[in-house]
Every structure is written in structure tokens, then in C-alpha cells.
Chain A
Amino acid sequence: MAVQSRGFWAHIHAPKVYSRSLCFTATFGLGVGLLSCMLLLFFTGALLLFTYIPSMQGAYSSLQEITWSYPYGHFIRTVHNISGTVFVILLALHFFRVLWAGAYGGTRYKNYVIGVSLMGLGLCTFVTGYILPMDQVAYWALTVGLTLLEYFPAGNFLKHLVLGGATIDTPTVVRLYFMHVAVFPLLLVLLSFLHLWRVRKDNGLYVQSKKHSVQKLTADPHAYIREATLFIVTVIAILLIAHFFPASLEPRAAPLYPPNPVKAIWLLVGTQELLSFSVFWGGVIPIVLCSIFFVFYPRVACDQYGHPIQSRRYFLFSTAISVTAIYIGCTIVAIWFRGPNWLLLY
């Protein structure tokens, strides 16, 4: 066959890919799942941009209109909401898969750091989006989050960067809105492209080894068909979840009346439980230590050829699993065992 000219998008893949990387268990399709979520988030987010009003009073009112008046409004908001949650969960799973595979050695360390940055950015986007409805849960999460920032270095600077005034008001909403719809998504897209480009640059998803055959297949159609399938499966799964679990809207923010108990959404309520022990030991220390550990440890977990040393690889993976297990434990306690005044129910 004559050499065909390849379109712009075709350059995301090399013309030929390792057959091993096309096995489902190689990646569990987590990267493609994340991209699918991102596409859904951009589409539903763009729709919500038409109706959301970034102001202290307008935010909640527009959310009410989106939810109860606009045709398909509640569904679109729910899909955005669910895609965001699934995005964060897939981020964690993608991270675990990489840690288990030890896919951070040698030249791939660069892409690992880009991936960790993407994870941070994803969380930032998630958290800023969670605040935008300006309902009770959002308001008190923001109050707590802003005070929590003060405990970090340059915290006062960060706090005023978000706050934009003496108290939580329209300037705060505008800032969070701008970050959620412009700053973070732009960085996410840029870094995602860099992330995909580096996969190609690092010669695909696998380091060549003598143990396995290095059979290669053309990306068109072998990779495309799998990616398209994964995309469709992810979208259908999210639409189904959205159908059965419509997004809730708590009462309008009442700055002087926190509900008792006020609980964060389930994905973040573990943090609340940790903070109820201590801000320093439950908030600052875990965040700082985990960031440093997961960025720098993979660098020293590999030998001079960039292959992970087995014991260190296991150590890294089990640390990640332990941290997650503790977090899930805290989440369970916070959801089912905390009552008014955050007291234990049993």
C-alpha cells in the first residue's frame, strides 16, 4: 500500500503500536476512560456556561432554574456532576495501575510527573466546581477550605487569591468560576496533550523486553476500534448512572447557619473526618508528605537502567493502597457514624 498522508489527530498514535498494549488488562482502558469523561465534562460544562450566573445570589438561583426549569437541565447538570466524580475515581485507578506496573522509570519519569500534575489539576477542578452551586454544602466547604489554606506556607496569599474581599461574596464566586471554567481546564488540556505526546515519545506503553514478543499492529484500526468502544462504554455507563442518581441541590447558602452536622459530598467527606482529628496531622501533613513522596520516590525506586527495583515498587504501591484504605475508612466513618455536632453515633 502506498504511504498515506496521516491527519493531524492520527499523530496521537504511532502508526504501529505494540499488540501487548492493546490488551484490556494492560491499561484497563483507564486513560481513554479519563479522556471520555473529559469530553463529556467539556460538552456538558459548555452547556452549563450558557445558564450559570457567577454571583453570590445568582449562582444558586441559576442552579434552581437549571435543575427545575430548563429542559434536560437537571440531566445535563447530573451528567456533569457524575462525569466529574468518575473522572476523579479513574484518576486514582489510573495512578494505581501505573504504580503497580512500575511505569515511571527512565525517560517515563517525566510523563509520570506530568500525570501527577494532571491528577492535582483534576482535583482542583473538581473542588472548584463543587463550590459553584453556592448551596449550604458548598458554602461551608469553602469556609473550611479557605481557613485550611491559612495553615499552609503562603496560605494567606492563596486565601486572598480565592476570596477577593473580606468575606465570601460575589468576587469569590467569580474567581472560583474563572478558575473552574478557564484556568484549570486550559491547563488540563495542555498537559493532557503533553501526556499523550510523551507516551509516543517514550515509544508506546511498554518498555521493550526480551521476555515478550514485540509484535506490532497498525493503530488504524486496531487501537482506534478499542478506543471508540471504550469511549462508548464510558459514556453509556455515565449516562446510566446519571439517570438513576440525579444530582442533589442542597438549600441555599446561609452564611450564619451551618446545618448540623454539615457533611461534605461523599468523595470529600473523608477529608472532613481527617480534619476533625487535627488540621495539622489530618490535613497539612498528609497532603504535603503524599505530594513529596509520590512525586520524588519513583525517581529513586528505579535502578540505573530505569527499571523499578521490585521491593521499592511494592513499597510504593502498598503505600498508595494504604493511604487510600485509610481515606476510605474515614469516609465510611464520616458518612454512617457521624451525627449532630460531629459526634460518633454508636
Chain B
Amino acid sequence: MCNTKESRRKFLKKAVQVAGVATGLGLTGTVAGQYIAFPNTIVPVLKKSVGMLAEIPQGISTYRNFQVAIIRNNDHVTAKSLVCTHLGCIVSASTKGFTCPCHGSRFDMQGNVVSGPAPKALVSLPVEVSAQGEVFVDIGTMLS
């Protein structure tokens, strides 16, 4: 009888201790984690001008400062992100398509995977041509 009581008391004491420590660590961890790992990703301007349509050459031209490639096929303009879908290096463009210097992924002119470890095609970015013929690329989708 006495033993049962004692072991119960011991168990309760242990349980309270464990619960207390777990709650304390959990709360502190949550507060500290939220504070440190706050995704402070404010992107002020999303639409970037890459120049006038008339001045953009046929084929692939790269705008490294925006991490964007513009692919012009006659008057049809598309934009691809230069960030490799594998592990985030910047791909380089050639007449055949895109290659990544970090792990050797290769993409065709449309940004589709030809070979290598990249799991999916280069990200397409929305393109807008204004009435004056200026081309804008929305790089927001890349940063989010």
C-alpha cells in the first residue's frame, strides 16, 4: 500500500517535471524559432523592364541582374528564370538552350529538362508588352 503510494507520488513528480520542461522548451523554442527564422522576404518591385521589344534579339538573351532569360521567337516573347530548379545555381544560355555549371543539368530552348538532375523545367515568368512596345517581366513568382 505504502509502496504503491510512493511509486505513484514518484510517477506524478516525474510527470510534472517532464511536462514542465517540455512546455518550457516548446514555448521558448517556438518564440525563438519564429523570431530567428522569420522569412523576411519583402520584394518591392516585381515587374522589371528589359527594354523595347524591337531591340530584343531573336533567340535567347539573358538579363543576369534580374536572373531572367528572354526567349524571342518572331514577335512571341517568353521569359524563363535562370535559377536552376535543381539546387539554385544560375544557368548559362547558349544557342542550344541552358546548362548549369554546378551539377550539369541541361535544358532546351523552352527550358525543359534534357538531362541531368534537375527535377523540373525552368520556371516560366509572366511577360507583358506595353502599348509602347516595352517588355516587362514579373520576377515576383521567382522570389516567392
For the complex, is A209 an interface residue (Cβ under 8 Å from B)?
no
The answer on a CB contact under 8 Å between B87 and A258 is no
Partner of A260, one of B42, B43, B92, B119: B92
| Nearest A residue (CB) for B67 | A256
Partner of B102, one of A156, A171, A257, A261: A261
**CB of B4 to closest CB in A, whole Å:** 30
**CB of B47 to closest CB in A, whole Å:** 17
The answer on a CB contact under 8 Å between A257 and B37 is no
With contacts A144-B88, A166-B143 taken as known, whether A276 is within 8 angstroms of B42 at the C-beta atoms is no
Residue interface mask A313-339, B partner, CB < 8 A = 1? 000000000000000000000000010
The answer on a CB contact under 8 Å between A276 and B37 is no
**Considering only CB atoms and an 8 Å cut-off, how many residues of chain B contact the other chain?**
29
- What is the interface residue range for chain A against chain B? 20 to 34
Cα A156 to Cα B88 in complex, Å, equals 14
Residues of B within 8 A of A143 (CB): 87-89
For the complex, is A272 an interface residue (Cβ under 8 Å from B)?
yes
**CB of A294 to closest CB in B, whole Å:** 25
For the complex, is B90 an interface residue (Cβ under 8 Å from A)?
yes
The answer on a CB contact under 8 Å between B33 and A276 is no
With contacts A256-B67, A262-B89 taken as known, whether A276 is within 8 angstroms of B101 at the C-beta atoms is no
Residues of A within 8 A of B43 (CB): 166
**CB of B91 to closest CB in A, whole Å:** 9
For the complex, is A279 an interface residue (Cβ under 8 Å from B)?
yes
Using a Cβ cutoff of 8 Å, how many contacts connect chains A and B?
Answer: 84
With contacts A144-B87, A256-B67, A279-B117 taken as known, whether A340 is within 8 angstroms of B101 at the C-beta atoms is yes
In terms of DSSP, what is the predominant structure of the interface of chain A?
helix
For the complex, is A15 an interface residue (Cβ under 8 Å from B)?
no
Residues of A within 8 A of B41 (CB): 165-166
Interface residues of A in 132-186 (CB under 8 A from B): 140, 143-144, 146-148, 156-158, 160-161, 164-166, 171
Cα A275 to Cα B87 in complex, Å, equals 9
**CB of B30 to closest CB in A, whole Å:** 11
With contacts A144-B88, A256-B64, A256-B67 taken as known, whether A342 is within 8 angstroms of B37 at the C-beta atoms is no
| Nearest A residue (CB) for B33 | A157
**CB of A251 to closest CB in B, whole Å:** 14
The answer on a CB contact under 8 Å between A256 and B37 is no
The answer on a CB contact under 8 Å between A342 and B104 is yes
Residue interface mask B9-38, A partner, CB < 8 A = 1? 000000000000000000000000100111
Interface residues of B in 52-69 (CB under 8 A from A): 64-65, 67
Cα A258 to Cα B89 in complex, Å, equals 7
| Nearest B residue (CB) for A162 | B37
Residues in chain A within 8 A of chain B (CB atoms): 140, 143-144, 146-148, 156-158, 160-161, 164-166, 171, 256-262, 272, 275-279, 282, 338, 340-343
Sampled A-B contacts (19; CB under 8 Å): A144-B87, A147-B86, A148-B87, A157-B37, A166-B43, A256-B64, A260-B92, A260-B101, A262-B102, A276-B103, A276-B104, A276-B117, A277-B117, A278-B117, A279-B86, A341-B100, A342-B100, A342-B101, A342-B104
Residues in chain B within 8 A of chain A (CB atoms): 33, 36-43, 64-65, 67, 86-90, 92, 99-104, 106, 116-117, 119, 143
